[in-house]
């Protein structure tokens, strides 16, 4: 039985210590021309599972995605409505703050920009807070969340996302460290200003650019 709250779990305390110590930092915060692997990263072939230790079971019959905040038309989509949106396939690399990277991940799902076009972004919206079924949150600038290769993914490598990897749907924002790509996404809140999410409150960087090694704040 796990009695710790997520903000005071053993994992969270450990990662706060990493942030305080600057663990994994190499100090090389520039991108050489044509280099694909960010500083301090190493390649893996598998896909490690990292989260807060809770894998919510979200039946498709009760799944919903809400888009709230500074939008012209707030959305509350069930699974069938979400699946009826235009589907996109993308291939991207992913980079985790714990130093692993994986090349050539094939995703299928709904492009973030397509969903935001459907909701209509109000003037003054500059940031988003992503909320997940397990209580996780993370923040991003709106322009990064709506990047051309950002996707709300339901499939990876031709197969439905497993529960452990955020299924039935997760965010994928590949140009930022992967903690910004919230698993089990259930709400997207558009905001006028930046607010810290879960790991950002616990010592991680507010932005998280792998090429500038923005692991910690």
Decide: helix, strand or coil at residue 149.
coil
Residue 79 lies in a domain: yes
* Per-residue pLDDT tens over the stretch 156-172: 999 999 999 999 999 99
- Read off the DSSP letter of residue 204: B
* Tokens 């991207």 sit on residue: 92
Q: Is residue 61 in a domain?
A: yes
- The boundaries of the domain holding residue 47 are 6-26+35-212
Residue 197 lies in a domain: yes
Is 217 contained in some domain? no
Q: What is the CATH number of the domain that holds 64?
A: 3.90.420.10
Residue 1 within any structural domain of the chain: no
Q: 193, 4, 174, 32: which is closest to 104 by C-alpha?
A: 174
In the predicted structure, residue 1 carries a pLDDT above the cut 90: no
Q: What is residue 136's predicted lDDT score, i.e. its pLDDT?
A: 95
Assigned domain for 49 exists:
yes
Q: How far is CA 126 from CA 129, 137, 191, 193, in A?
A: 11, 17, 6, 6
The structural domain count of the chain equals: 1
- Give domain status of residue 189, yes or no: yes
- Asked if pLDDT for residue 13 goes beyond 80, the answer is no
pLDDT, one tens digit per residue, over 105-143 is: 999 999 999 999 999 999 999 999 999 999 999 999 999
Q: Is residue 145 part of a domain?
A: yes
- Write the DSSP assignment of 119-134 as a string of letters: H-BPTT--EEEEEETT
The H-assigned helical ranges of the chain are: 10-21, 79-83, 112-119, 142-145, 198-201
pTM of structure? 0.86
Q: Is the pLDDT of residue 79 over 80?
A: yes
């Amino acid at each position: 039985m796990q009695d710790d709250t997520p903000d005071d779990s053993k994992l969270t305390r450990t990662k706060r210590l990493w942030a305080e110590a600057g663990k994994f930092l190499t100090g090389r915060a520039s991108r050489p021309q044509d280099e694909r692997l960010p500083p301090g990263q190493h390649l893996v072939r598998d896909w490690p599972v990292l989260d807060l230790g809770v894998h919510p079971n979200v039946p498709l019959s009760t799944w919903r995605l809400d888009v709230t905040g500074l939008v012209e038309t707030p959305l509350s989509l069930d699974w069938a409505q979400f699946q009826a949106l235009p589907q996109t396939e993308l291939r991207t690399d992913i980079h985790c703050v714990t130093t692993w990277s994986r090349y050539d991940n094939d995703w299928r799902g709904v492009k973030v920009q397509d969903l935001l076009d459907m909701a209509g972004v109000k003037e003054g919206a500059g940031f988003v807070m992503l909320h997940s079924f397990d209580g996780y949150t993370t923040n991003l600038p709106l322009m990064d969340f709506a990047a051309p290769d950002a996707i709300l993914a339901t499939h990876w490598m031709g197969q439905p996302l497993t529960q452990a990897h955020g299924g039935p749907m997760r965010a994928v924002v590949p140009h930022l460290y992967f903690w910004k790509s919230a698993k089990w996404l259930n709400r997207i809140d558009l905001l006028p200003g930046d607010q810290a999410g879960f790991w950002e409150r616990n010592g991680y960087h507010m932005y998280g650019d792998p090429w500038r090694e923005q692991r910690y704040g």
